Structures are given as structure tokens and as C-alpha cells.
Structure 1
Amino acid sequence: MTTPPPGDVAALRTALTDAAYTVDGVEDLLGPLASAALHREQSVPARRVVATRSADRRATLTSLFLLGDEVSRGAVDAALPGVGTAGAAALGLVEAAGAGADDAVRAVLDLRPYAATDARGPVEWWLVSDLGELATGRRLAVDHVLGAGGASTTLAQVTMRDPVGRVLDLGTGCGIQALHAARHATRVVATDVSRRALDLTRLNVALNTPDAEVETRLGSMLEPVADDRFDLVVSNPPFVITPHEGAAGAAVERAIGAFEYRDGGRSGDDLVRDLITGVGAVLAPGGVVQMLGNWEHRRGQDWTDRVGGWLDASGLDGWVIERELLDPAEYAETWIRDGGTTAARDQAAWDAAYGAWLDDFAGRDVEGVGFGIVTLRRPAEGARPSLRRLEEHHGSLRQPLGGHLAATLAAHDWLEARDDDDLAAERLVVAADVTEERYLTPGAADPNVVIVRQGDGLGRGLQASTGLAAFVGVCDGELAVGQIVGALGALLDVPADDLAAELLPAVRGLVRDGFLSPAAGTGRPTR
């Protein structure tokens, strides 16, 4: 596949728009029952619906691209006016059995609507990727190019979207992160080990962001950009921990095959470790990395010590949020199932792959596998790393998270520039999403527990002392931090210095995490 002709792609874009082939349009066509079933990879309800709506262009496109069914050439021509079967075939999307109106047309690629909201706002696009098992009924190919899965959507939502110069999308796949980056970057470089992935990335860029500066480069990990520097690196790398050696690797290969999009060919979590420790080489000063990854929890070692060692070796500011933790059995089940139906239909193959994963983990004393978000940043020229934060947040969060992460980094920098005397002179205000919860024993006059809770971002909740709860309650930007502490000390009959020693570290934490922020005109952190 070469770079598609702009006129052909523009005609396709117009036809898809006019057909209302959007996420909302398809869900409206199918209804809630069939839509929900299709999200679970169950096609029967959707087929029943489209069979009754043959005159609807959305039904033709859904049958062709989402369900993998044969559609007549005449129906495709009607669904894509100005493009037709011939134009779709020229773009590599379909193949036709003949030139007659009743001759069958079958999709070669998956073309589906995509809608998401990142830190810059909502988008509606169409994504071209390889057909899945639902459409083909066959095992995925080694070089299968995945569309926008759950991990891709997560990365798009957690990425900061401040205007930047150069962005690297490392391991671009179908190009979804490059599309998002093109909205706020001057230039994007998208890399992958798969020529097919880069072909599809160029098609997706032409279809959705035709004016964007997106360059594709072939190669593994950082090799294609070793001499470049970027302001932002985004990566959903092939981080899945997969057995490779000996009988274990052979068992997994027989059961589910190997897939470039998820398996980097490394042992354990070495790929994620090496990317964290090496990516600083392509970052400009102040440049940020946002990536997803898996890491092993090994017996006798806290994961924060192990992954924290990677941060230390990187020479970068580092913030790791673990979003999920699976035990070895859960992890094996997840990725065998992701490999498709072959192992699911063959109990012996399933058991062999399952055992191989457990043996592989046992060999490294792995007790669990974490999944999460990694944010790294190169300090300014001549500065040393000042941020090293590793935490678990397995609960819900409010997406898109990118704006919150950017604000947290800005708040960290604001705090680093101020000692306690400087902080005492600042005026703070409570964020609009912060609430207070009080728990009392029946009949008691005062609460036993006060929790200050954040509604946005990570939805953190902090159990506050009487003094801290009172402090937060009066942060309206009128009084300086030191003035509030002095007044509370007098009210609570506690020496002001003692109360300051208790409260100021907690106040720093509240500013860092967005519960409190500097009042307008006082050097407010910026993103």
C-alpha cells in the first residue's frame, strides 16, 4: 500500500459522513441490544437488524466492514457514492468478485467509526485496521494491525494535550496516537516494526487529519529516531509478558500464535524496563513520555522498589500509576483469550498455553503482574530529577486524565520553587470538585473521621485531621497560608510553629494533587 491519493480519500470521507457512518449512527441503527452484543464480539443480533434495513447505507457499511459479510456491488456503490466499489478497492478496503451489480464484495480491511474525548476535547474519526476474527473466522496473522482497543483509548485519554513541537508515536500500530497527537503538535513521527502498520497509519492520517505533518519510519523501538529529540513521546508498546523459551514458548505459539502488536519478543518485563531507562535519549529538555506497560511483582521485592530502580536509572522525573494487578493465572487467561478462538476451541491447546505461562512466571518468582501508566520527563538543562512517585490506584478515575496529569506536574514544579516560608506567604483556593465527608457516631457532636475527596482526576480521598480539615475549609484566596495556620493555632490552642510543622507537608500534598491551587494572580501553576 502506498500513500493514498488525496482525492480518493477525500471522496471516501465525504461518503462516510453523508452516510452517518459514525459511532452514534451505527448504534442508532443497531439499537442497544445488538450494539451491546457486538461490543462483546457477538454478531447474531446485529445481523438480524441489518437484514431488515438493507436500504440504509449504514446497514451496508456495517455488514461489510464490521461483520465481515459479503455485500452486493450495487449496494456498496449506493452506500459510497463518489467512491463506489472500484474506489474502495483502489484504496485497498474491499475486493469484488466481478463487475456486475449483484456480484459479491467482501471487506479486506476493517473500517469503523471511532469517537473519543481526550484532554483537548472530543473527536470523531474512522479507523482502518485489519479485520478481526469476528469478520474472518480465522486466527489473526503475526503482523495483524489492531484497531483502537481499550489500551489505545486509555493512552489517548491520559496523554497531556498542551501544544508542542515534535511528537514521537513509538509503536504506532494503526496510527491512533499519531492522530490524537496531530491535533496539538507541529510535527509527528510515527514508528513501527511493521510496514503494514505504517501503511495503515498513512491511510488513517489521510482520511482523518489530512493537513497534519505526520512522518512514518520503519524500525524497532528507538532505533529509527536515535538522532532526534522530541517534546512528547507517546507509546502503547508491545508490553505483554509472553513465554518465549523452550517448550513453554512453543506451547504458546501452537495455541495462539504470535502477534507483533502485543509481543515484543523479550523475556518478562524487560521491554518496558529498557524503554523506561532508554527513552530519555530522544527527549528534548522538558520533554515528556507517556506510555503504558506491564511489570512483574516478584516474591520478596516490592514492585515500587523494582520499578523505582528503573526510574532511577533513567535519569528522568518519573511518575508511575498502577491501575490494575492480576495474579499469574488471571494474566494467562486474559492473553490466551485475547489470542482468539483457536485455543478456546481446543482444550488441550488452552491447557498447554496456560501451563506454559504459569511455568514462565514461576521461573522468575512472579506473584502478580501490574498494568499502568508511566509518565517521565527530562529535567531542564542542568537540573536534576525532582519527581519520583510510584503509587497504586486500582479504583475508578475520571477520563480524560491528561489535563489532570499536566496540572499535577505543573503543581509539582510550583512547589519545588518554594520553601515553607514561601508557601506560607501564598494564598490558596479549594478546587471546585473537592467535597468533604464527615462520619459521626450517632449522638456525637464532632465527627470521628473527616475525608476530603476529589471528584476529578484520580478521585483521591484524604483522611484529614481536625486542623487540616479546618485549613481546607477556609482556603478562599483571602488569607495567606501562614495567616490561616496562625489563626487556627490560636483557635485550637496549639503553637503556630507546631501546627505549621503538621499542616504544611499535607498542604503541599493537596496542592500537588489538585485539591488546592494558588489564588489568581499569585503565581498559579500553568500547564
Structure 2
Amino acid sequence: MQPPVTDPALVASLRDDLASAAYDVDGVEDLLGPLAAAALHREQSLPARRAVAAAVDGKPPSDRDPRATLTALFLLGVPVPRAALDRALPATGAQGAERLGLVAAQGSGDDDEVRPLVDLSPYASVDAVGDARWWLASDLGELATGGRLATDHVLGAGGASLTLAQVTVRNPTARVLDLGTGCGIQALHAARHARQVVATDISRRALSFAGFNVALNTQAGADVELRHGSMLEPVAGEQFDLVVSNPPFVITPHAGAAGRAVADALGDYEYRDGGRAGDDLVRDLVLGVGGVLVPGGTAQLLGNWEHRRGEPWTERVGAWLDDAGLDGWVIQREVLDPAEYAETWIRDGGTTPDREPEAWAAAYGAWLDDFASRDVEAVGFGMVTLRRPRAGAPTLRRLEEHTGSVRQPLGAHIARSLAGHDWLAQRDDAALAAAHLVTAADVTEERYLTPGEADPNVVVLRQGDGLGRGVHASSPLAALVGACDGELTVGQIVGALASLFEVPADALAAELLPAVRGLVRDGFLEE
């Protein structure tokens, strides 16, 4: 099936029609109601189908709610009468939608069925720039087709795409590279804060969808260039201020009998299978991306990495950072055992044990064999932030696990944390003591006391924004944070606390200044 066609005039008409129809996230949720909308987010379509049927019950096609028509057609994969689509898209019409490659019609009569050829979904997200509301065309998913995905399937905005969009630093910048653009969602986000965006993909089909989505959602003049090729090859010799990538990081068996079994049972999915053994694709990207970054440039990507027996993941991934020669900050967000991992990605392509038991069993066994061959005990998923030093050696090497909830979007928090790291790197303890710091507005203090006691035995400084960190603080540290309002220097506050707690000032400074550095780095204290 061919991807959509980017006809500028028709795409502009479609944009106006979709907006006029209120075919957006809020409009669809209002149509469906909270129960059906929530079920649809879980990939359960029955409540939504019932809600749409109720909305059109007894109404002629030419009088139906446009939201019901577009939801049925593009979200649920349900054919609609031609007259209903003509009403929903008055400027584009069913004929224009056909010319764009979005639908196929059985005939030209009002009652003739029109079926969808693509998924055209409303999109809403918040990144470090602000609200983003678009429409995204992609291939029809399992929910609409009821079958396994094609190996050249082009995804819409999934959970990983949303995560990357929200964690990306969005400072105004010159050039951004979206490596592995897929349907183009990261390129759209980047176009809001960059003068030029280059979006690459190994799939020409994906690039066609990306081009359509860019045309549908950006005004004329948006500088987004699409290039075909694998990984960094299309931009060899160029440099960018920011690289974002949701690469095909899934660890899929490729070598030997295990690789042949998975290829025979499932095939290779372009959007997720990079063709490398184990986690080599993510490692190679970490090692190579510095070559296309300007000094001070940042790369942010998602990835999987293996937890191998006898080798902590922090050492394994940390070695990649060391070899890359880049500043690095890795946050592991999730860990799956080999069986959970195999189940997740076999289901992802639309294969289930009930529908295709032989393919399921073959792929499942092959995945387990492949992991066992490398002594893999678990697979981590997380976010990688890399930065090319402006001069000299890297100064940031941070690998941590944070599986709890976070407050999205994280992009602004990550930017502040990187800025805090740079600020600290330029200051010794004397300069830090001379600084005027302010406690961030989202910081609160929790005190835990034994009943009947006057003093707390535990004090926790809690961050409401970002990663929501909690820091166990001594009474002097909690008092210092409480006193940081920009009036006194850190050194002056330490001196006053030394008198209050009746301890030597030098000893208290030696205790508190390292903790202050951590609080500045994590955004509890601001310069």
C-alpha cells in the first residue's frame, strides 16, 4: 500500500477541514466520553465503536457529526458512506482524500463505502516549548486491521516518541538532526525551536509519511529537510547543535539459528529492528554521534541495553560514554527480564499466542536462546543525554536508575541540570561559598518525628518538578536550604549555622558544600 501523497493545495484544505471539524484530541474525547476514550488509549476499540454508533444512530450520512465520521474512519478503521466524509471534509471531499492516498472509495455514490488507507490521528503533547497540537498520518495499526503489522509499517506517535519529545531540551538553536524520523514527530517538535531540521530514515516509506505530516502541520517556509539513509550516513561531515533519535533500538535476534527463527516467524520490522546483534546499535550511536555535534552540542536518544551476568549495567553503558569522549547522563527508566522483553516485542508486531501459536512459540524461544547466548539477565530502557565538550575532556558522567514517576515535560529540567553542572564546574568551594543561591519554588520539606520527640529523626527535601527527587538532609543542610533566598551567600549562611549548632565553621562547610553541589546540580538550589 502506497504512503500518502503530499499535494500542497489539498494538504492545506485538509488542515482547514480537520480544524473546522474539531477533530482534535479534545474533540474526540468529548465525542467518545471518558470511558470509551480511556479504553481506546489501551487499544480496546469496542467502547469507542459503540460511542460512534450512538452518535450517528438515525442520522443520514450527510448530517452526521464530522468527528464521528473521522473517528470511525481514521482511528477505528471503520468504512463510512461517501456523503458522510464529504460533510466531514467539505473543502477536501472524499475525492480529495482519495487523491491524497488517505482513503479508497468503492464508487462515486453518496452511499458508497469509503475505507481508510492510513491512520490519521489527532496529537496533543506538551514539550519544553509549550503545547503541541497536530494531526499525524501513519500506517493503520492492529486495532484497525485486526492483523499483524507489515514489516515496513510506519508507526504514529507511540509512548517512546512522546517520551523523547518531552525530555528533549528545547533551547532556540540553529540546526537539529532527527535521526530515524519515522512519521516525523520529532522533526515537528524540533521545527518549533530550530532554524533548520534535517530528518533522516532508512525507510523511504517513513520519509513519505514524514513529509506529509510536516506539510500538514507546519506553515510554509518551515525548513525541514528529509534525507534517506542509515543512521549517521546521510549527514556525514556535517554538524548539528542538537541530535534527537528514537532509533530502532529493540534487541532482536539476528545471528545463527535464533535469528533465522525470528526472521521466519515475524520478519524484521524497520521501525524497531536495527539489524545489529544485542545492543550494538545503541552503543554504536553513542560512540558515533559526537562526530556530528558542534562543540557544546547535545544529543538525546532512547535506547535499550543488556544487563549481562557479572557486569553491572552502569559499567557496561559507562564504558560506552568513556569511549565516546562525550559528557553523558543516562537515566534507566525500566528493566524487563528476558521473557518479559520477548513477550513485549512479539506482541508489538501483532503476533499473539492465540492468533498465531506456532509463530509465537518459535519467536519466543529464539529470543530466549539469543539472550542466553550472551548471559543476558535483563534489559534496561532509558534516556541518554550526550554532549560534546566545548574544550578539553568530558566533565559529566552520570548513570542512574529512576523508575518512579516524573513530571513531564522533562526537557526544561534537564536543561537546567546541565546548566547547573556547567556552573559548578567553573567554581571551586571558595567560589561556591561566595554565591547567592535561591531555593527552587517546587522544593518542599518533609519532617518525620517519633511521637513525643521535639526534633525530627528524618528530614527529606522533596522536588515537585522534574524527576521528583527526595534528598535526606541533615538538620544543618535543611536549615541552609531554608535560608537560601538570595540575600546571604552560602558561606555566610554556613557561618551562621555553625554558631547555631555550636560546631566549627570549617567542619560544617566541609560537610555542607558537597551537598550544596548536589542540590544545585539537581535543581533544588538555583543561582
Q: Report the TM-score, using the length of structure 1 for normalisation.
A: 0.96
Using the alignment, how far apart are the partners of 1:341 and 1:143 within structure 2? 16
Which of 474, 485, 506 matches 1:465? 474
Using the alignment, how far apart are the partners of 2:409 and 2:140 within structure 1? 28
> Which residue is 1:524 aligned to?
none
Which of 153, 169, 174 matches 1:144? 153
Contact 1:295 1:371 (C-alpha < 8 Å) held by counterparts: yes
Which of 112, 116, 121 matches 1:107? 116
> Which residue is 1:268 aligned to?
278
> Which residue is 2:229 aligned to?
219
Contact 1:485 1:496 (C-alpha < 8 Å) held by counterparts: yes
Please give the secondary structure, in 2, of the residue aligned with 1:452: strand
Using the alignment, how far apart are the partners of 2:108 and 2:72 within structure 1? 20
Using the alignment, how far apart are the partners of 1:353 and 1:33 within structure 2? 35
**Distance change (3 Å), C-alpha of 1:20 and 1:2:** closer
Instruction: Give 1:9 deviation, angstroms.
Output: 0.9
Please give the secondary structure, in 2, of the residue aligned with 1:139: coil
Residue type at the aligned position of 1:319: W
Using the alignment, how far apart are the partners of 2:356 and 2:224 within structure 1? 43
Contact 1:408 1:512 (C-alpha < 8 Å) held by counterparts: yes
Contact 2:148 2:350 (C-alpha < 8 Å) held by counterparts: yes
**Distance change (3 Å), C-alpha of 1:344 and 1:245:** farther
Which of 373, 377, 402 matches 1:393? 402
Which range moves more in the overlay, 132-141 or 121-130? Answer: 132-141
Contact 1:288 1:375 (C-alpha < 8 Å) held by counterparts: yes
Contact 1:337 1:344 (C-alpha < 8 Å) held by counterparts: no
Using the alignment, how far apart are the partners of 1:244 and 1:19 within structure 2? 46
Which of 494, 500, 505 matches 2:514? 505
> Which residue is 2:18 aligned to?
16
> Which residue is 1:31 aligned to?
33
Contact 1:336 1:343 (C-alpha < 8 Å) held by counterparts: no
Deviations 1:270-311 (Å, cap 9, x if unpaired)?
000000010000001111001000011111111111101100
Using the alignment, how far apart are the partners of 1:392 and 1:147 within structure 2? 28
Alignment of 1:35-114 (within 5 A): 35-54=37-56, 55-114=64-123
Alignment of 1:200-349 (within 5 A): 200-211=209-220, 212-349=222-359
Using the alignment, how far apart are the partners of 2:486 and 2:181 within structure 1? 45
Deviations 1:235-283 (Å, cap 9, x if unpaired)?
0000000111233223323443321101101111000000001000000
Which range moves more in the overlay, 418-427 or 331-340? Answer: 331-340
> Which residue is 2:383 aligned to?
373
Residue type at the aligned position of 1:122: D
Residue type at the aligned position of 1:447: P
Please give the secondary structure, in 1, of the residue aligned with 2:488: strand
> Which residue is 1:6 aligned to?
8
Return 5+ residue gaps in structure 1 as ranges. Answer: 519-527
Instruction: Give 1:349 deviation, angstroms.
Output: 2.7
Contact 2:148 2:351 (C-alpha < 8 Å) held by counterparts: yes
Instruction: Give 1:517 deviation, angstroms.
Output: 0.8
Instruction: Give 1:376 deviation, angstroms.
Output: 0.5
Please give the secondary structure, in 2, of the residue aligned with 1:394: coil
Residue type at the aligned position of 1:46: A
**Distance change (3 Å), C-alpha of 1:339 and 1:492:** same
Using the alignment, how far apart are the partners of 2:38 and 2:328 within structure 1? 38
Residue type at the aligned position of 1:468: L
Which range moves more in the overlay, 485-494 or 451-460? Answer: 485-494
Deviations 1:71-100 (Å, cap 9, x if unpaired)?
111111111001011111111111111122
Deviations 1:28-80 (Å, cap 9, x if unpaired)?
11111211222222222222221222311111111111111111111111110
Using the alignment, how far apart are the partners of 1:329 and 1:462 within structure 2? 35
Using the alignment, how far apart are the partners of 1:398 and 1:444 within structure 2? 35
Using the alignment, how far apart are the partners of 1:353 and 1:455 within structure 2? 43
**Distance change (3 Å), C-alpha of 1:25 and 1:457:** same
Contact 2:327 2:394 (C-alpha < 8 Å) held by counterparts: yes
Contact 1:425 1:482 (C-alpha < 8 Å) held by counterparts: yes
Instruction: Give 1:454 deviation, angstroms.
Output: 0.5
Please give the secondary structure, in 2, of the residue aligned with 1:240: coil
Alignment of 1:486-497 (within 5 A): 486-497=495-506
Instruction: Give 1:343 deviation, angstroms.
Output: 4.3
> Which residue is 1:450 aligned to?
459
> Which residue is 2:418 aligned to?
409
Which range moves more in the overlay, 218-227 or 256-265? Answer: 256-265
Using the alignment, how far apart are the partners of 1:491 and 1:51 within structure 2? 72
Q: How many residues align?
A: 517
Using the alignment, how far apart are the partners of 1:344 and 1:2 within structure 2? 33
Q: CA RMSD in A?
A: 1.2
Instruction: Give 1:6 deviation, angstroms.
Output: 1.9
Please give the secondary structure, in 2, of the residue aligned with 1:477: coil
Please give the secondary structure, in 2, of the residue aligned with 1:437: strand
Instruction: Give 1:2 deviation, angstroms.
Output: 8.2
Using the alignment, how far apart are the partners of 2:487 and 2:296 within structure 1? 34
Deviations 1:103-127 (Å, cap 9, x if unpaired)?
1111111101000000110111000
Contact 1:256 1:343 (C-alpha < 8 Å) held by counterparts: no
Using the alignment, how far apart are the partners of 1:52 and 1:513 within structure 2? 51
Instruction: Give 1:345 deviation, angstroms.
Output: 1.7
Contact 2:5 2:101 (C-alpha < 8 Å) held by counterparts: no
Instruction: Give 1:363 deviation, angstroms.
Output: 0.8
**Distance change (3 Å), C-alpha of 1:209 and 1:98:** same
Residue type at the aligned position of 1:370: G
1:126 is aligned to 2:135: yes
Instruction: Give 1:400 deviation, angstroms.
Output: 0.2
Q: Report the TM-score, using the length of structure 2 for normalisation.
A: 0.96
**Distance change (3 Å), C-alpha of 1:462 and 1:511:** same
Using the alignment, how far apart are the partners of 1:43 and 1:303 within structure 2? 39
Residue type at the aligned position of 1:27: E
Instruction: Give 1:132 deviation, angstroms.
Output: 0.6
Instruction: Give 1:472 deviation, angstroms.
Output: 1.0
Which of 183, 186, 202 matches 2:195? 186
Residue type at the aligned position of 2:328: G
Residue type at the aligned position of 2:375: D
Instruction: Give 1:352 deviation, angstroms.
Output: 2.3
Using the alignment, how far apart are the partners of 2:78 and 2:5 within structure 1? 27
Using the alignment, how far apart are the partners of 1:377 and 1:344 within structure 2? 46
Contact 2:444 2:462 (C-alpha < 8 Å) held by counterparts: yes
Contact 1:257 1:339 (C-alpha < 8 Å) held by counterparts: no
Contact 2:4 2:209 (C-alpha < 8 Å) held by counterparts: no
